[in-house]
Amino acid sequence: MSQHDTAKNDDFDLQDFLPYLLNRAAEESSLEFQQVYKNRYGMLRTEWRVLFHLGNYGKLTAKEIGTRARIHKTKISRAVHRLETRRYLKRSRSEADRRVEELTLTPAGQAAYRDLCSIAAQYDAKLAGLFSAEETDLLRKMLRRLGHIG
Amino acid sequence: MSQHDTAKNDDFDLQDFLPYLLNRAAEESSLEFQQVYKNRYGMLRTEWRVLFHLGNYGKLTAKEIGTRARIHKTKISRAVHRLETRRYLKRSRSEADRRVEELTLTPAGQAAYRDLCSIAAQYDAKLAGLFSAEETDLLRKMLRRLGHIG
DNA sequence: GGATAATAGTTGATTTTGTAACTAACAAGC
DNA sequence: GCTTGTTAGTTACAAAATCAACTATTATCC
């Protein structure tokens, strides 16, 4: 059996494998926006996500952010620490349950959030512009389903 | 301005941000299949991708794999080393250009490739089954475009 | 109320990745 | 044929992700 016959195994092609396509599209689409929060605010992706959740939902605990965004608690813990060091958020022990920390953005954090949001919105529009409005709507719907969101 | 008003900034929601949706869907959809190549063959994602490309296209150089799959050469280098150590592939210096290494799968590598391919195909069918055939086709088309493939 | 289990979050050790500098081989210009 | 530049691939060091063990607090249950 030649190498080339092996290549024709099944009727399956990596180029069509959904997890592969999803990963490629995710990497590619994240790259450009990543430059913004990285260069402008020195943030990592997890930090941007934590910032976003706090900006979007207001006061949250680390646990809640982790559950909503499916981020592991150690990543959250380190992201919160860095965001706190850079004065983008502050934490305070909950009175009700002293294990819990309530996280909120500082004014600087809110400003960064607003700035990044507006850039994200622009960037999203640019990506969405590759397709018709109906197609983009369907894409988001399918991605939410695949990502178990909503 | 209250925390909650901040949340209503713009008409933009992270839940709809395409890079976020793409990343969530990519992570979620990769998880299950990842268990297979990880637990059954002790492979990392890059190794599975390298194996796949060699199985699918036959003899390739590290450079070619990197170009096709958009993987950085250091990642390829390490993946090739590990796959070689585990006897899934062998390399030989090109006669024509002695900088280049020609990579091919060993029989064990081909067996792993076939096994993983058939599981991948099944898994892909399962994901595709969430939607209609037309929807899935459109999804793949859009993802290829977003990932700059094809 | 005291032992046991569960939960929120942190820390440390190990693995994996990313960046930059490196070696070796080839190519081009003169 | 010898400098200069380019390309394939590796390696070293720093940054980040992962996993397991840890502290502190609360909940359960006898």
Per-residue pLDDT band for A61 (boundaries 50, 70, 90) equals very high
Q: What is the pLDDT of residues A7-60, one digit of tens each?
A: 444 567 878 999 999 999 999 999 999 999 999 999 999 999 999 999 999 999
Chain centre to alpha carbon of residue A142: 17
**Domains of chain A: total:** 1
E strands present in chain B:
60-61, 89-93, 101-105
Question: Of B127, B129, B34, B55, which Cα lies nearest the Cα of A18?
Answer: B127
Q: What are phi and psi of B105, to 5 degrees?
A: -75, 145
Preferred mutation among B4, B5, B21, B123 to probe A, highest tally of A CBs within 10 A:
B21
Structure tokens at B92: 């030989």
Q: Stated in angstroms, how far is B65 CA from D7 C1'?
A: 15
Query: Is B80 within the bounds of a domain?
Result: yes
Contact: B21, A144; criterion CB under 8 Å: yes
Nucleotide nearest to B79 (CA to C1'): C16
Contact check, Cβ <8 Å, A18/B140:
yes
CA distances to A85, B63, B89, B119, B128 from B48, rounded to whole Å, are 39, 16, 12, 13, 21
Contact: A149, B26; criterion CB under 8 Å: no
Q: Per the domain annotation, does A2 fall within a domain?
A: no
Do residues A146 and A22 touch, judged by C-beta distance below 8 A?
A: yes
Tell me, what CATH number does B100's domain have?
1.10.10.10
CA B126 distance to own-chain centroid: 17
> Does any domain span residue B24?
no
| Residue B56 within a domain | yes
User: What one-character-per-residue DSSP string does A83-127 give?
Assistant: HHHTTSEEEEE-SS-TT-EEEEE-HHHHHHHHHHHHHHHHHHHHH
pLDDT in tens, A123-140: 999 999 999 999 999 999
Any domain includes A4: no
On whether residue A20 sits in a domain, the answer given is no
Is B10 contained in some domain? no
Query: How far away is chain B from the Cα of A99, in angstroms, using its nearest Cα?
Result: 23
Domain boundaries, position A38:
27-146
Residue A15 lies in a domain: no
